[in-house]
Structure 1
Amino acid sequence: MIRILVFLLLIGLVTLGLGFLVEQPGAMSLTWFGYHIDTSPLVGLGVVALTAVIVWSLLRFIFNLPGLVALTARARKRARGHEALARGIIAAGVGDLNKARKASQEAKKLVPNEPLALLLDAQTAQLSGDRDSAERAFRAMTEKHETRLLGLRGLHAESLRQGDHDRAHQIALQAQSIAPLSWSGQALLDRYSGQHDWEAARLCVAQNLKARLIDKETANRQRAVIDTALAMDAETTDPDRAISLLRAAVKKAPDLVPANALLARLYTQRGKLRAASKVIEAAYPKMPHPDLARAYVGMRPGDSAEDRLVRAKALARLAPKDPESAIVVATAALDAGDFLTAREVMTPLVAMGERPTARMCVIMAELEEREHDAQGLAREWLARASRAPRDPVWIADGHWSKQWAPVSPVTGKLDAYRWTQPKEELAGPVEAPPPAYQGPAAIEATPARAELAPPQPAPAPEPPPVLAPPETKAPEAPPATTASEPVKAPPRSSNGPEPVIFPLATPPDDPGTKEDNTETRLY
């Protein structure tokens, strides 16, 4: 506002000065090179001022001409350097080592102080496998203010590639002290989690949330996993603290199965069956899991098999469409001897067109064996189980386990395990389920093999024709006989040599007919 007022004041002063000059009487006369000019003082002063400005500008341009030429040359050189940087970064990105190296050398000559030239040099060294040169380039980047964090990240990556985790941790700490970044925050969290330093990991999560590197939902999930890990360590030594940690973990992440299962187990050990049941009933609809089902069904050790079946049915009603509910009911029904219920809940899972897992096939094998003592059907189900898709397990970074862990054993990453089904490299066709068990009545209704029409024997091949001498008449060929009839030789001829008779061999795939001692077997 003050600048505007000053500007208006100057305009007013200039206007007043021009008005004063216009009102002043007088004349200005100029005779030069045979020309005579008469004008007012105001116009004369204007011409003189304009001439002075033009002369001054011309002299200034002449004196500054060498600098302008040098500036133009530097700008052209800088433009060529930036163009070389662009080509080199693109070449390094696509993996063209020769173009990247050539562009890096050109950029270092044209723009040696450009930060991107150091980055291109480091990328070229990494692409060629020269780790020492790459590390020198990243270290040079840390000496410049604008590329310091970029150099620290490159040194961190090189340290991890060399397996020097302690040095990588120190570099991440240095970067985090300068400015909180996502890569340094995650690196510190993985380090603390891999060493089971849960208090430091909790502090790191709080710092990442404060710096807005992660959202609140992710922070709550990570805190819940850390609380569960602390509770697992304190399960036997301090159960009260473990229960408090698990209650906080369940509140932050209600679908965290290990926290819910462990909390229910600790409540059960304390005799708080109602509280344990509420924990599982709240978690099971969000994540139906075998650990929750086992904890719920076997919560009271003194229950009978029928009581466990009732609890299994009650739990299954919370997630009726999930296959795990049917498996829970079927397992409890087998223990209780209720084979009809087990078959009813398992039939939709193993019907035609479905792909039952190995555990489902094993349950069906046990059902056929215990209900009907059908050893053949049980073996068929077990054989199908060996080819069936695998059941879900805890998988983290390609490592699978039956037990959950707070960190990955491969990378040390927090909350890496996921309950999922292993991928099938080669998925086979959908197999039809084995035939249902047929009782003795169904077997007796099947016609016996002896009552069926006996198979007709295959006709024997005709004997080859016999060539007779020209002066004699060839004997007639014997009639075709079956394999069971003997071959009769024709009568001898007194007019010529005796013809050759080839014996008729019984076909190897024709067992012949056995009219005597025919056995009838029921299958």
Structure 2
Amino acid sequence: LYVEANRLGAHEAARQYAETAAEAAPYLPWAAKATLEHRCRAGHWDDAIRLLDQQKIAHVLERHEAERLKAVLLTAKAEDQLEAEPAAARDSALKALKLAKDLVPAAIIAAKAYMREDNLRKASSTLEQVWKLDPHPEIARAYVRARSGDSAVDRLKKAEKLEALKPNNYESLLVVSEAALDAQDFKKARTKAEAAARIASRERVYLLLADIEEAETGDQGRIRHWMGQALKAPRDAAWVADGHVSERWMPISPVTGRLDAFEWKTPFDQLAGPIEEGSVSEGEKALASLPPVARTEAPAQPEPQFETTKPKIVQPEARVIDAEPQAKAIEPEAPPAKATKPEKPAVIASREEAPAAQEPAVVEPFFGRPPDDPGVKDPALAAPEAKTRLKLF
């Protein structure tokens, strides 16, 4: 029934058939596997852990495999609990680390939970233990930046401590080089990055060398050289599951739904060929073909040139005096021209310049007297009466 339901696309019916079979007979491999995948996809981590314990008791899975899968389930549970319940997430992550000591996501979640409790000492100790077993860039990033108030020099000291725990390692050299670049220690950053390039010729180390070149010398030729090497170099390791490359770890594969499918490795299409014994690595070739630093010298100023010319000797001309000087004819001077009086231009009077018309006389009220005592009308100021033809008196 389970196979027929899957063939017809009835996934919900197939899930119910598998869960019924797993509850009745947990020793059936197909039923336990199908039920476990369905519960993981739904995020029912507690139910999946309980089913896994039943399979372990029924000897369906080997002990090592069962512990590894349980650690993955506990890590997924801790990831969901980190935001709301940091203490519960810490406990789940620590249980996962006891079952799988090299499980990087569990160590990072446990360290983050400790940091939320302001317990940096235990967070650093947890990361250091996993770093010794499996150096991982995410562990280095969480370890170096555990305290937000640290300076660039403090982060460099932490990176050097990680290098001391795992010397001559590609990731150890890169984390020190990145921290030294942030601290403006270009000599140490270049030395560690070149050592990492000799160990493994990958994209990340060449991009880091390009950043160092830009910050230290600014030589565009050398920067282009490192960028060209990064284009040709294989990619760094990433989380890969069933051919799917992811930026973050996930408990199940998004392609097949398989539990614990993600691995930290180089993608298949980016694998480099075998290195023959005695051959020069790509990192050595890249370092050997690095162009020298272009020096920009100031143009030399031309020296002032002084003209060395002989002084010119001027000979005085011989003056010849005539014995009988000829009298020059005196020409009569022309009478001076009579000065003509300049004519005045005709000025046309404009309307504005025309004389203003006489304003009419203003007659004062009350005959020039105060209004309260008008007095007798002054005949001199009175206007003459108009004469009429008819006059009775």
Give the superposition deviation at 1:311: 0.5
Equivalent position SS for 2:261:
coil
C-alpha RMSD of matched pairs (Å)? 2.2
Q: Measured at CA, do residues 311 and 219 of structure 1 come closer, stay the same or move farther in structure 2, by a change above 3 Å?
A: same
Equivalent position SS for 1:391:
coil
Q: Equivalent of 1:387, from 232, 245, 257?
A: 232
Pair 1:408-2:253 in alignment? yes
Give the superposition deviation at 1:304: 1.3
**In structure 2, distance between residues paired with 1:425 and 1:302:** 38
Q: Equivalent of 2:17, from 171, 175, 185?
A: 171
Contact kept in structure 2, 1:190 and 1:413, CA below 8 Å: yes
The equivalent of 2:7 in structure 1 is: 161
Q: Measured at CA, do residues 326 and 161 of structure 1 come closer, stay the same or move farther in structure 2, by a change above 3 Å?
A: farther
Alignment of 1:41-120 (within 5 A): none
**In structure 2, distance between residues paired with 1:438 and 1:400:** 38
TM value normalised by structure 1: 0.52
Q: Equivalent of 1:438, from 264, 283, 292?
A: 292
Equivalent position SS for 1:394:
strand
Equivalent position SS for 1:346:
helix
Give the superposition deviation at 1:415: 1.5
Structure possessing the higher relative contact order (Cα contacts under 8 Å, 6 or more residues apart): 2
Contact kept in structure 1, 2:239 and 2:263, CA below 8 Å: yes
**In structure 2, distance between residues paired with 1:260 and 1:319:** 17
Give the superposition deviation at 1:179: 6.3
Pair 1:342-2:196 in alignment? no
Runs of 4+ in 1 over 6 A off after TM superposition: none
Q: Equivalent of 2:121, from 274, 280, 286?
A: 274
The equivalent of 2:69 in structure 1 is: 222
The equivalent of 2:32 in structure 1 is: 185
Give the superposition deviation at 1:425: 6.2
Q: Measured at CA, do residues 249 and 427 of structure 1 come closer, stay the same or move farther in structure 2, by a change above 3 Å?
A: closer
Give the superposition deviation at 1:239: 1.4
**In structure 2, distance between residues paired with 1:397 and 1:304:** 41
Give the superposition deviation at 1:171: 3.1
Identical residues among aligned pairs (%): 39
Give the superposition deviation at 1:174: 4.4
Q: Measured at CA, do residues 425 and 299 of structure 1 come closer, stay the same or move farther in structure 2, by a change above 3 Å?
A: closer
Give the superposition deviation at 1:363: 0.4
Contact kept in structure 2, 1:185 and 1:204, CA below 8 Å: yes
**In structure 2, distance between residues paired with 1:367 and 1:326:** 14
Q: Equivalent of 1:265, from 99, 104, 112?
A: 112
Equivalent position SS for 2:245:
strand
The equivalent of 1:237 in structure 2 is: 84
Q: Equivalent of 1:423, from 251, 260, 268?
A: 268
**In structure 2, distance between residues paired with 1:193 and 1:365:** 43
Gaps of 5+ in 1: 1-154, 445-523
**In structure 1, distance between residues paired with 2:40 and 2:66:** 14
Q: Measured at CA, do residues 427 and 295 of structure 1 come closer, stay the same or move farther in structure 2, by a change above 3 Å?
A: closer
Instruction: Work out the number of aligned pairs and report it.
Output: 287
Q: Measured at CA, do residues 162 and 395 of structure 1 come closer, stay the same or move farther in structure 2, by a change above 3 Å?
A: farther
Q: Equivalent of 2:207, from 338, 358, 362?
A: 362
Give the superposition deviation at 1:426: 7.8
Letter paired with 2:16: Q
Letter paired with 1:403: R
Q: Equivalent of 1:206, from 34, 48, 53?
A: 53
Give the superposition deviation at 1:438: 2.9
Give the superposition deviation at 1:439: 4.5
Give the superposition deviation at 1:157: 3.3
Larger radius of gyration: 2
Letter paired with 1:389: P
**In structure 1, distance between residues paired with 2:35 and 2:208:** 46
The equivalent of 1:296 in structure 2 is: 143
**In structure 2, distance between residues paired with 1:199 and 1:247:** 16
Comparing 299-308 with 430-439, greater Cα deviation is found at 430-439
Contact kept in structure 1, 2:27 and 2:59, CA below 8 Å: no
Gaps of 5+ in 2: 276-280, 298-393
Equivalent position SS for 1:213:
coil
The equivalent of 2:375 in structure 1 is: none
Contact kept in structure 1, 2:203 and 2:235, CA below 8 Å: yes
**In structure 2, distance between residues paired with 1:373 and 1:242:** 46
